[in-house]
């Protein structure tokens, strides 16, 4: 337990520092409510530093099971402390609301309980955006840096995550290098898009916030109408940002440094990811044109931006999708469950898992004709191990089970069926907005507190890909 608390201390200290930063930025913008940011910032930092000092000497992991506990604990702690600013600034009244908003930030989901964000103080707006930016990168960091040091078998917990299932996807052999390079890709992209948006006419403040929430595939907005009021070129810049946020970061690093040979082991995933995007764009655009009287230009622009927002589980809204043709919104549910590439900031099941699931089915069909043929599932021309296939299958069913249970709970709480399905998928996949009143420019504000707590849990489960959280529920986990 102690080494975990040490890492937790570090995380909280950083979180406190970031809150302080938001407060200072707010003050610089002459916003008096920013002062309310200081107590939670200092408190979080103090708790963090205290933990660091207390457990400074505990570096080795004694018990592997504690590591699973740690993974879950980190996210819960980040969200729990992250909700304090919402409460102290009185932007949100209840703990359920604040926890929801905070978890939505750190899980980079993008579901919100704010019916309007226009009146929020800048410090709170920045904190929302920043929490997504941190959360988006956090999940990569967790898998690249923290999970290995905790001694968890990567294969069993996050097979398809950042470093890639075949273990060759690591940026370099040295972990420190890996983190530095991934971080540099993330920072470079962030800077690039801030500059692009700024040059294209947004204020620096708007550019920073919007970039933070899109490059992390989060989806919070500082405008009440999503990105609908931005200019067309700005929307297309954001489309590029989202598209990149769904790509494996190692892949991007090799792409940008022109090491094309290293790209080979991700070709299947990237082509599937791009195919998914392309298919979504074509269907949505055609539907917008023929079913909803959009002109061709608007149809393609809105269709493209919204489709990419869905596949990367960003959740940003270019129009009020509540009013869109129902089959399109249904397709959005499915696409957001697929998600982007593993090792990116996007949520969902990830392209690689979906590919393996599909190819396993194809194999099962082939095997019926030639029962004795040896015919492994292949990814990038290499056979996939049985271990990985099972892992993917298990994650898929747990995902589905979670979804089903959540929808039932929503129904029993009296949520409308369409809205319940939308909320469950939106929160679990990390897309954010759901259907009905929760979707489009709407919010989750009208839901009962219990429903909000379930949503918060779903976002946590979705971000951590279920396994680690469910592990804690097994009696065998707690047995000595």
Partner 1 sequence: MFNHKLIAHITGTLLLIMTAAMLVPLAVSVATRDGAQYAIALSAVVMLLPALFLRNLWGRKASYTMGHRESFWVTSIIWLVVPLLGSVPFMLSGVLPRFADALFESISGFTTTGSSVIADLSEVPPSILVWRSMTQWIGGLGLILFVIAILKKLTAGSVQLYEAEFSGTMQRKLHPHIAKSVSLMWRIYLLLTVLQFVAMLVCGNGMLESLCLSLSTVSTGGFTTTAGGMAGYSQATLGVVTFFMFLSGVNIALVYHLITGKGRMLWRSEEFHIYVLIYLVAVLGSTAALTTAGNSWQSSLGYSLFHVASTASTCGFYLPNPVHWSVWVSAFTFALIVIGAMSGSTGGGIKIKRIMILTRYVHHYFLRMLHPNAVFTVKVDGETVKVDYINKVFAFVFLYIALIVVGGFLLTLGGLNIPNAVCMAAANISNLGPSPLLNNIGASVDYVALSLSGKCTLMVLMLAGRLEIFAILALLFPIYWKKS
Q: Using the rule CB under 8 A, give the single segment among 27-35, 104-112, 162-170, 394-402 that binds partner 1.
A: 394-402
Give the residue, chosen from 60, 176, 258, 371, that forms a contact with partner 1 under the rule CB under 8 A.
371
373 lies in the binding site for partner 1 (CB under 8 A): no
Shortest reach from residue 364's CB to partner 1, in Å? 4
Assigned token pair, 408:
């039932």
Within 319-338, the residues that bind partner 1 by CB under 8 A are: 326-327, 329-331, 333-334
Among residues 9 and 436, whose Cβ is nearest to partner 1?
436
160 lies in the binding site for partner 1 (CB under 8 A): no
Shortest reach from residue 404's CB to partner 1, in Å? 8
Shortest reach from residue 61's CB to partner 1, in Å? 15
The closest alpha carbon to 169, from 311, 345, 341, 360, belongs to: 341
417 lies in the binding site for partner 1 (CB under 8 A): yes
397 lies in the binding site for partner 1 (CB under 8 A): yes
Give the residue, chosen from 98, 308, 421, 423, that forms a contact with partner 1 under the rule CB under 8 A.
421
Within 266-305, the residues that bind partner 1 by CB under 8 A are: none
Among residues 295 and 414, whose Cβ is nearest to partner 1?
414
98 lies in the binding site for partner 1 (CB under 8 A): no
365 lies in the binding site for partner 1 (CB under 8 A): yes
Give the residue, chosen from 71, 120, 157, 319, that forms a contact with partner 1 under the rule CB under 8 A.
157
368 lies in the binding site for partner 1 (CB under 8 A): yes
Q: Per-residue string for binding with partner 1, 254-273, x by CB under 8 A?
A: --------------------
156 lies in the binding site for partner 1 (CB under 8 A): yes
Q: Using the rule CB under 8 A, give the single segment among 86-94, 121-129, 263-271, 465-473 that binds partner 1.
A: 465-473
Assigned token pair, 144:
């690249």
C-alpha 202/C-alpha 292 separation (Å) is 30
Q: Using the rule CB under 8 A, give the single segment among 152-160, 165-173, 233-241, 261-269 that binds partner 1.
A: 152-160
Shortest reach from residue 165's CB to partner 1, in Å? 16
8 Å CB contact between 452 and 98:
no
* HEC per residue, 128-158: HHHHHHHHHHHHHHHHHHHHHHHCCCHHHHC
153 lies in the binding site for partner 1 (CB under 8 A): yes
Q: Per-residue string for binding with partner 1, 35-74, x by CB under 8 A?
A: ------------------------------x---------
The closest alpha carbon to 379, from 388, 370, 390, belongs to: 388
Among residues 22 and 157, whose Cβ is nearest to partner 1?
157
C-alpha 285/C-alpha 305 separation (Å) is 10
Spatial neighbors of 474 by CB under 8 A, at least 6 apart, are none
Give the residue, chosen from 191, 278, 400, 448, that forms a contact with partner 1 under the rule CB under 8 A.
400
385 lies in the binding site for partner 1 (CB under 8 A): no
C-alpha 126/C-alpha 120 separation (Å) is 10
Among residues 360 and 380, whose Cβ is nearest to partner 1?
360
Give the residue, chosen from 50, 396, 449, 453, that forms a contact with partner 1 under the rule CB under 8 A.
396
Q: Using the rule CB under 8 A, give the single segment among 76-84, 162-170, 246-254, 368-376 that binds partner 1.
A: 368-376
Q: Which residue, chain included where needed, has tokens 């969200």? A: 79
Q: Using the rule CB under 8 A, give the single segment among 7-15, 78-86, 140-148, 365-373 that binds partner 1.
A: 365-373
469 lies in the binding site for partner 1 (CB under 8 A): no
Among residues 188 and 361, whose Cβ is nearest to partner 1?
361
Within 106-145, the residues that bind partner 1 by CB under 8 A are: none
- CA distance to 31, 92, 102, 221, per residue, from 27 (Å): 5, 20, 22, 21
Binding site for partner 1 (CB under 8 A): 65, 153, 156-157, 326-327, 329-331, 333-334, 357, 360-371, 386, 389-391, 393-394, 396-398, 400, 404, 408, 411-412, 414, 417-418, 421, 435, 467, 470-471, 474, 476-477
């Amino acid at each position: 337990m102690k080494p975990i608390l040490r890492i937790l201390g570090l995380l909280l200290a950083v979180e406190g520092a970031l809150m302080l930063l938001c407060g200072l930025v707010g003050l610089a913008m002459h916003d008096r409510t920013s002062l309310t940011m200081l107590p939670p910032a200092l408190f979080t930092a103090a708790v963090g530093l205290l933990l660091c000092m207390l457990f400074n000497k505990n570096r080795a992991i004694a018990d592997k099971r504690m590591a699973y506990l740690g993974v879950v604990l980190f996210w819960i702690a980040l969200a729990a402390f992250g909700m304090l600013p919402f409460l102290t600034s009185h932007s949100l009244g209840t703990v359920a609301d604040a926890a929801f908003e905070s978890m939505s930030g750190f899980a980079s989901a993008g579901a919100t309980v704010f019916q309007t964000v226009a009146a929020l103080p800048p410090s709170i707006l920045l904190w929302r955006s920043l929490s997504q930016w941190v959360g988006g990168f956090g999940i990569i960091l967790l898998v690249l840096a923290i999970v290995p040091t905790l001694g968890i078998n990567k294969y069993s917990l996050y097979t398809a995550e950042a470093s890639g299932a075949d273990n060759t996807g690591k940026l370099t052999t040295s972990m420190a290098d890996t983190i530095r390079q991934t971080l540099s890709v993330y920072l470079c992209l962030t800077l690039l898009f801030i500059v692009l948006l700024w040059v294209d006419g947004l204020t620096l403040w708007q550019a920073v916030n919007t970039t933070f929430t899109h490059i992390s595939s989060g989806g919070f907005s500082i405008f009440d109408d999503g990105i609908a009021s931005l200019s067309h070129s700005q929307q297309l810049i954001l489309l590029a940002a989202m598209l990149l946020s769904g790509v494996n970061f190692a892949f991007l690093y090799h792409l940008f440094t022109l090491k094309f040979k290293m790209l080979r082991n991700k070709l299947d995933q990237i082509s599937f990811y791009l195919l998914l995007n392309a298919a979504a764009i074509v269907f949505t655009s055609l539907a917008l044109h023929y079913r909803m009287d959009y002109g061709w230009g608007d149809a393609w622009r809105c269709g493209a931006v919204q489709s990419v927002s869905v596949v990367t589980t960003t959740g940003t809204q270019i129009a009020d999708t509540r009013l869109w043709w129902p089959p399109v919104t249904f397709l959005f549910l499915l696409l957001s469950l697929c998600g982007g590439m593993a090792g990116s900031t996007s949520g969902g099941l990830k392209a690689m898992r979906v590919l393996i699931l599909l190819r396993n089915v194809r194999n099962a069909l082939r095997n019926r004709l030639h029962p004795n043929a040896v015919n492994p599932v292949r990814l990038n021309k290499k056979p996939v191990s049985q271990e990985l296939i099972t892992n993917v299958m298990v994650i898929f069913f747990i995902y589905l089970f979670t979804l089903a249970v959540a929808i039932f709970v929503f129904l029993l709480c009296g949520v409308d069926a369409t809205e319940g399905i939308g909320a469950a998928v939106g929160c679990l996949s990390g897309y954010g907005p759901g259907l009905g009143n929760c979707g489009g420019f709407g919010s989750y504000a009208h839901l009962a507190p219990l429903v909000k707590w379930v949503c918060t849990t779903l976002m946590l489960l979705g971000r951590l890909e279920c396994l680690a959280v469910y592990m804690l529920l097994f009696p065998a986990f707690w047995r000595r």
